[in-house]
Amino acid sequence: MPDTANRSPHRLGVLISGRGSNLQSIIDSIAARRLDASLEVVISNRADAAGLQRARAAAVETLFLDPRDYPDRGVYDATIAGALKSRGVTLVCLAGFMRLVGPPLLDAFPNRILNIHPSLLPSFPGLDAQRQALVHGVRVSGATVHLVTSALDGGPIVLQSPVPVLDDDTVDTLSARILIEEHRLYPEAIQIVLDGGWSVDGRRFVRRR
């Protein structure tokens, strides 16, 4: 039986579409008590997302919601919001969720949705960020955790971490080094957001001392 009496008040919901390695870092951080939260549900828009297995292995509830079962994006996003709310989720973490988040979900969780992106935003938003960095020829890329707004990969930045781009990097080698940083950065950023004592001032995520 889970020890519900000592349950953290911070209840996470994670949205995935694939591999789920960032989900795994969240699961591991909670287990190691580096992250003071409980993981209530993992939702995927794809039935074959490997992250669903990771969640099941950690005894976390999983939901596969097929977008094709819904008449439009709004209804789909409202369904996700309802599933999260009904489980008491207080912070939503996108972890490789390959869909734009629309108003029904944004409005249900204002400034309570986080995303991780494999570049130093605002450079290289959107798909294939690591390839974009290589093609552009930057010497430094990295990872960013940000609040989710209606702007694609454009919300206030909580944390960033730089990763050097090496002369012999391929998309795979650069992605692998950035991913190591992602796994460290995301739980840290989630804890910062959960701890409170911050506000959003224009584009800036501002922590009070």
**In the complex, which residue's CB is closest to ligand GRF?**
96
DSSP string covering 66-117: -GGGSSSHHHHHHHHHHHHHHTT--EEEESS--S---HHHHHHSTT-EEEEE
> What would the DSSP string read from start to end of 112-158?
-EEEEESS-TTSS-SS-HHHHHHHHT-SEEEEEEEE--SSTT-SPEE
Per CB under 6 A, 184 contacts ligand GRF: no
Mark the segment that binds ligand GRF (CB under 6 A) among 34-42, 53-61, 116-124, 189-197.
116-124
**Looking up tokens 């224009």, which residue turns up?**
202
CB of 204 to ligand GRF, least distance (A): 22
Q: Are 12 and 39 in contact (CB under 8 A)?
A: yes
Q: Both tokens of residue 22? A: 């960032």
Could you say whether residue 119 binds ligand GRF (CB under 6 A)?
Answer: no
Tokens of 156: 């206030």
The reply to whether 96 sits near ligand GRF by the rule CB under 6 A is: yes
13 forms part of the interface with ligand GRF (CB under 6 A): no
The verdict on 20 binding ligand GRF (CB under 6 A) reads yes
Q: Is 117 a catalytic residue?
A: yes
Select 60 or 179, whichever has its Cβ closest to ligand GRF.
Answer: 179
Q: Which of 30, 89, 116, 147 binds ligand GRF (CB under 6 A)?
A: 116
Q: Is 18 in the site for ligand GRF (CB under 6 A)?
A: yes
SS3 for 65? coil
> Which residues of this protein are in contact with ligand GRF, per CB under 6 A?
18-22, 51, 95-96, 116-118, 179, 182
